[in-house]
């Protein structure tokens, strides 16, 4: 094992692994590496607890949280989410998709959490397992020294320069994409371009009974809405819109958020007595990916490598998953294990598989053909169960989803073809950023393959 003692003088700290970012990805990989005895330091530019978006978890994240030893703490702060309500003004109705109906029904629920609380639990757990956390410290630059240690230059809140010398660097900086900013190689997703406005509210009406904690996803003319209830009675509400719509804003963000709520009747009805808590937020054009996710003595986990639209609440799940797989890669590298190449290949394969699986659904989510399939009740050939498995986070080939998913995709293309003009028009509108308008409420016939 490499040096496990900390040699620290005025401005230089020696460690085995330096992790940039203490979000879910950074906390997870640092915990797993510290458990294996490595000397891990984490730099976090902010201080926990801090606001972050990404509050709806997926059922298949729970075993990973259990493995980290934090599940009982998450249970205390989270409200149970048994499924997702999908509301279509284009069909004049809604339906609830329950995780219990997924192919692998072993994970029938997840939690909605405030990220300030969730992220704090994860990083406190990392520190309890021996991780050295440096809050208020921003990583600025990595001096890569092939065949040797890397030097990471950072700055604290007072402007003091700090240097960390590490055998391995993990970029877990989220959408700041720290290493990509230095190395390049990041490109905006040409297939999907969107942005978001959101806030936390009190007084938002909930679904009744056991469904109280479910997420609601509501289509509307400029994109889609999320409504995510929290345990303390407050609610996260946000819209993911085409950037062309957001660029029409001439009023304050808060006013614009309320004006946008008024454009979507199902959301406006649930928010008739709602009040914004604190400020409104925006996240600009955001879907991107980097060409490679690792190199000599470094790798990227979570959003630092890629970010996809959050409609299926996949972000934290993908971050936890890539960090868990990434820990195997870093550990093998530090041990100079002959299995390093195998772990690295598997890490890449599974990270890309997860992103690819969700991306197919995301690119089509606002197409009329997709809405028609999602709103049609009943399932043959286990198509619905397979889609629910993906929505629950079972996206890495664990359950036999391949055949039913293939049939679902086939059904989608058939519906698209039978309603070609409508779907092409929607596709073109989407490309040009022109809003759709609900004129008539109409159902497509959904042929089964």
Ligand X SMILES: Cc1cc2nc3c(=O)[nH]c(=O)nc-3n(C[C@H](O)[C@H](O)[C@H](O)COP(=O)(O)OP(=O)(O)OC[C@H]3O[C@@H](n4cnc5c(N)ncnc54)[C@H](O)[C@@H]3O)c2cc1C
- How far, CA to CA in Å, does 316 sit from each of 56, 113, 319, 403? 8, 11, 5, 27
> Least distance from C-beta 440 to ligand X, angstroms?
31
Reading the block at residue 90, the tokens are 């284009």
What whole-number distance in Å separates Cα of residue 128 and Cα of residue 365?
Answer: 41
Contact string 257-296 vs ligand X (x = CB under 6 A): --------------------------x--x----------
* Stretch touching ligand X by CB under 6 A, among 21-29, 77-85, 262-270, 387-395: 21-29
Q: CB within 8 A of 119, min separation 6: which ones?
A: 22, 23, 24, 27, 48, 49, 50, 52
Closest alpha carbon to 270 in 230, 311, 229 = 229
Contact string 203-242 vs ligand X (x = CB under 6 A): -----------------------------------x----
Per CB under 6 A, does 173 bind ligand X? yes
Considering beta carbons, is residue 219 or 416 the nearer one to ligand X? 219
Per CB under 6 A, does 174 bind ligand X? yes
Query: Nearest 5°: phi and psi at 438?
Result: -75, 110
* Stretch touching ligand X by CB under 6 A, among 166-174, 257-265, 336-344, 428-436: 166-174
* Stretch touching ligand X by CB under 6 A, among 10-18, 37-45, 185-193, 329-337: 37-45
> Least distance from C-beta 167 to ligand X, angstroms?
19
Reading the block at residue 279, the tokens are 């400020």
3-state SS track over 340-365: HHHHHHHHHHHHHHHHHHHHHHHHHC
Residues in region 294-353 near ligand X by CB under 6 A: 302-304, 310, 313, 315-317, 319
What whole-number distance in Å separates Cα of residue 292 and Cα of residue 295?
Answer: 8
Considering beta carbons, is residue 56 or 107 the nearer one to ligand X? 56
Given 172, 261, 300, 388, the residue binding ligand X (CB under 6 A): 172
What whole-number distance in Å separates Cα of residue 165 and Cα of residue 247?
Answer: 43
What whole-number distance in Å separates Cα of residue 166 and Cα of residue 179?
Answer: 15
H or E element that contains 4: none
> Least distance from C-beta 54 to ligand X, angstroms?
2
Residue 143, classified by CB atoms within 10 Å of its CB into exposed (0-12), middle (13-18) or buried (19+), is exposed
Closest alpha carbon to 23 in 3, 49, 59, 56 = 49
Given 53, 151, 280, 407, the residue binding ligand X (CB under 6 A): 53
Considering beta carbons, is residue 60 or 343 the nearer one to ligand X? 60
Considering beta carbons, is residue 170 or 446 the nearer one to ligand X? 170
Given 39, 56, 189, 194, the residue binding ligand X (CB under 6 A): 56
Please tell me the count of residues contacting ligand X according to CB under 6 A: 38
Considering beta carbons, is residue 22 or 166 the nearer one to ligand X? 22
* Stretch touching ligand X by CB under 6 A, among 6-14, 48-56, 356-364, 430-438: 48-56
- How far, CA to CA in Å, does 331 sit from each of 1, 146, 187, 321, 337? 10, 18, 29, 16, 8
Considering beta carbons, is residue 104 or 119 the nearer one to ligand X? 119
Given 124, 156, 176, 443, the residue binding ligand X (CB under 6 A): 176
Considering beta carbons, is residue 304 or 372 the nearer one to ligand X? 304
* Stretch touching ligand X by CB under 6 A, among 51-59, 199-207, 350-358, 398-406: 51-59
Per CB under 6 A, does 83 bind ligand X? no
Given 14, 15, 23, 31, the residue binding ligand X (CB under 6 A): 23
> Least distance from C-beta 305 to ligand X, angstroms?
8
Q: Which of 200-215 are b and which e, b meaning 16 or more Cβ less than 10 Å from the residue's Cβ?
A: bbeebebbeeebebbb
> Least distance from C-beta 366 to ligand X, angstroms?
16
> Least distance from C-beta 185 to ligand X, angstroms?
17
Q: What is the CA radius of gyration of the chain?
A: 22
3-state class of 26 per DSSP? helix
Given 16, 19, 21, 39, the residue binding ligand X (CB under 6 A): 21
Contact string 125-144 vs ligand X (x = CB under 6 A): -------------xx-----
Per CB under 6 A, does 78 bind ligand X? no
Closest alpha carbon to 34 in 110, 124, 138 = 124
- How are the residues of the chain apportioned to helix, strand and coil, as percentages rounded to the nearest 5? 40, 25, 35
Can you say whether residue 299 is alpha, beta or left, with left for phi > 0 and alpha for psi between -120 and 50 degrees? Answer: beta
Reading the block at residue 253, the tokens are 């963000």
Binding site for ligand X (CB under 6 A): 20-26, 43-46, 52-56, 138-139, 172-176, 178, 196, 198, 238, 283, 286, 302-304, 310, 313, 315-317, 319
């Amino acid at each position: 094992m490499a040096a496990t003692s900390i040699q620290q003088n005025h401005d230089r700290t020696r460690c085995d692994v330096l992790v940039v970012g203490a979000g879910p990805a950074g906390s997870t990989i640092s915990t797993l590496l510290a458990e294996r005895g490595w000397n891990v330091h984490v730099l976090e530019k902010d201080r926990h607890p801090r606001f972050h978006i990404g509050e709806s978890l997926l059922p298949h994240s729970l075993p990973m949280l259990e493995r980290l030893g934090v599940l009982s703490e998450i249970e205390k702060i989270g409200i149970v989410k048994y499924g997702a309500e999908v509301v279509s003004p284009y069909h004049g109705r809604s339906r609830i998709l329950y995780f219990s109906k997924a192919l692998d029904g072993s994970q029938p629920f997840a939690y909605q959490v405030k990220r300030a609380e969730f992220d704090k639990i994860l990083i406190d757990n990392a520190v309890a397992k021996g991780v050295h956390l440096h809050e208020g410290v921003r990583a600025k630059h990595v001096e890569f020294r092939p065949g040797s240690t890397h030097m990471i230059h950072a700055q604290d809140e007072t402007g003091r320069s700090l240097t960390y010398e590490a055998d391995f660097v993990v970029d877990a900086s989220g959408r700041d994409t720290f290493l990509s900013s230095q190395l390049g190689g990041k490109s905006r997703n040409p297939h999907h371009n969107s942005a978001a406005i959101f806030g936390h509210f009190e007084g938002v009406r909930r679904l009744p009974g056991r469904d109280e904690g479910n997420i609601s996803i509501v289509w509307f003319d400029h994109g889609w809405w999320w409504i995510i209830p929290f345990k303390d009675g407050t609610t996260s509400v946000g819209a993911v819109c085409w950037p062309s719509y957001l660029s029409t804003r001439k009023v304050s963000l808060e006013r614009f958020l309320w004006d946008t709520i008024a454009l979507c009747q199902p959301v406006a009805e649930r928010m008739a007595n709602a009040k914004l808590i604190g400020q409104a937020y925006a996240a600009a054009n955001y879907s991107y990916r980097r060409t490679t996710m690792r190199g000599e003595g470094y790798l990227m986990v979570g959003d630092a490598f890629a970010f996809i639209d959050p409609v299926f609440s996949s972000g934290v799940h993908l971050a936890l998953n890539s960090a868990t797989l990434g820990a195997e890669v870093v550990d093998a590298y530090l041990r100079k294990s002959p299995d390093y190449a195998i772990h690295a290949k598997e890490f890449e394969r599974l990270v890309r598989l997860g992103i690819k699986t969700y991306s197919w659904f995301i690119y089509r989510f606002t197409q009329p053909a997709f809405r028609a399939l999602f709103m049609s009740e009943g399932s043959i050939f286990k198509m619905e169960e397979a889609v629910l498995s993906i929505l629950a986070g079972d996206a890495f080939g664990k359950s036999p989803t391949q055949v039913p998913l293939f049939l679902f995709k086939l059904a989608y293309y058939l519906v698209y073809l039978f309603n070609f003009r409508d779907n092409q028009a929607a596709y073109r509108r989407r490309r040009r950023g022109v809003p759709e308008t609900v004129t008539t409420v109409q159902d497509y016939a959904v042929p089964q393959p």
